[in-house]
């Protein structure tokens, strides 16, 4: 038991934990982005039916939420530990920073991970408070689809994105998300020891492309709703 704990606490162990939890959240954001695009393609009933279906999963949804929450907490804990470890090892920072060449790939994204991470965390707290725990049936956000009464989440999202301050806030958060993910995917494979001179450049480019698609997918939703309304 003690050896398992010390393996997890080692710097390699923490990096592995950070990668695995990051990949879990990466999977979630892809699913969440695809589901949310129904706001632009499906219409109110389709989106509300989808949200109601997820809530109807009951225990399974709670389990998924717990896995996500644990992943987020472990990810934050490892990030704080790694940053602290780096600061302790190098109390005076080098004046200059730049790429150390492959396979290092030091980029703007890699050197701002902690800042984009904090921004995403702040976004997440506000996002979950305003949508998941925002006004529901009791506050009049209720609709009936196929004879079933359910929460009108669609109305809440549309009303939120009719306010420019929310649209700007989301746009900034989505840019931070894109920058964070553009380094995260490749870095996770690297930390898991999955380096291959031929495949690593492919993983790197696929990661950057996925990050761009995810951030863009989320980014267009508030902007589209603000200018053109929802489907
Ligand atoms: C335009 C962008 C987005 C929209 C329209 C959106 C919409 C929503 C809505 C409506 C909910 C409430 C679902 C419910 O209560 O059933 C929700 C929950 C959530 N969102 Fe988003 N979201 C967006 C971006 C994001 C991003 C970028 C992330 C992560 C970085 C994220 C993470 C979450 C999480 C973790 C939950 C709680 C899930 C749960 O506990 O079941 N969202 N989102």
Summarize the confidence of residues 204-222 as an average pLDDT: 96
Q: How many domains does the chain have?
A: 1
Q: What is the mean pLDDT of residues 159-171?
A: 97
- In sequence order, which residues have a C-beta less than 8 Å from that of residue 170 and are 6 or more positions away? 123, 161, 218, 219, 221, 222
Lowest-confidence pick of 2-16, 181-195, 214-228 = 2-16
Q: Is 150 in the pocket of ligand 1 (CB under 6 A)?
A: no
Mutate to test the pocket of ligand 1, among 29, 36, 61, 177 (most ligand atoms within 8 A of CB): 36
Q: Ligand 1 centre from 201 Cα, in Å?
A: 31
Averaged over 174-203, what is the pLDDT? Answer: 91
pLDDT at site 196? 83
The full DSSP string for the chain is: -HHHHHHHHSHHHHHHHHHHHHHHHHHHHHHHHHHHTHHHHT-HHHHHHHHHHHHHTTHHHHHHHHHHHHHHHHHHHHHHHHHHHHHHH-SS--S------TTT---HHHHTHHHHHHHHHHHHHHHIIIIITSS-GGGT-EEEETTEEEE-HHHHHHHHTTSHHHHHHHHHHHHHHHHHHHHHHHHHHHHTT---TTTHHHHHHHHHHHHHHHHHHHHHHHHHHHHH---
Report the pLDDT value the prediction gives residue 121, as an integer from 0 to 100.
98
Ligand 1 centre from 65 Cα, in Å?
12
Q: Measured from the CB, is residue 17 less than 6 Å from ligand 1?
A: no
Domain that holds residue 222: 10-86+106-228
| Centroid of ligand 1 to alpha carbon of 72 (angstroms) | 14
- Whether 100 maps to a domain, the answer reads no
**CA distances, 30 to each of 124, 211, 214, 217 (Å):** 16, 9, 6, 9
Residue 99 lies in a domain: no
Residue 135 lies in a domain: yes
At 102 the pLDDT is 53
pLDDT of 79 higher than 60: yes
pLDDT in tens, 108-151: 999 999 999 999 999 999 999 999 999 999 999 999 999 999 99
- Position in ligand 1 atom list of the atom nearest CA 156: 10
The ligand 1 atom nearest the CA atom of 174: 27
Q: Is residue 139 part of a domain?
A: yes
In the prediction, which pLDDT does 197 show?
Answer: 86
Within a domain: 98: no
Say what the pTM is.
0.90
For residue 93, being part of any structural domain is answered with no
145 backbone dihedrals φ, ψ, rounded to 5°: -125, 125
- Atom 8, ligand 1: residue with shortest CA distance: 131
Q: What is the pLDDT of residue 92?
A: 63
91 occurs within a structural domain: no
Residue with CA closest to ligand 1 atom 9: 131
Identify whether 183 is part of a domain: yes
Q: How far is the CA of 105 from the centre of ligand 1 (A)?
A: 31
At 195 the pLDDT is 80
């Amino acid at each position: 038991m003690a050896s398992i704990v010390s393996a997890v606490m080692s710097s390699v162990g923490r990096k592995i934990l950070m990668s695995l939890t990051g990949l879990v959240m990466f999977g979630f954001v892809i699913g969440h982005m695809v589901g949310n695009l129904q706001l632009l393609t499906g219409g109110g009933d389709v989106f509300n039916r989808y949200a109601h279906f997820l809530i109807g999963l009951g225990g399974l949804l709670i389990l998924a939420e717990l896995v996500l929450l644990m992943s987020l907490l472990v990810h934050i804990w490892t990030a704080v530990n790694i940053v602290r470890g780096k600061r302790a090892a190098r109390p005076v920072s080098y004046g200059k920073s730049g790429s150390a060449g492959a396979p290092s790939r030091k980029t703007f994204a890699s050197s701002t991970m902690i800042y984009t991470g904090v921004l995403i965390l702040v976004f997440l707290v506000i996002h979950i408070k305003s949508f998941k725990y925002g006004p529901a049936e009791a506050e009049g956000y209720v609709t009936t689809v196929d004879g079933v009464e359910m929460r009108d989440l669609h109305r809440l999202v549309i009303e939120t994105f009719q306010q420019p301050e929310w649209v700007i806030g989301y746009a900034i958060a989505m840019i931070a998300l894109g920058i964070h993910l553009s380094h995260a995917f490749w870095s996770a494979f690297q930390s898991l020891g999955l380096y291959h001179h031929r495949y690593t450049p492919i993983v790197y480019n696929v990661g950057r492309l996925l990050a761009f698609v995810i951030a863009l997918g989320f980014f267009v939703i508030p902007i589209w709703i603000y200018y053109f309304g929802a489907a």
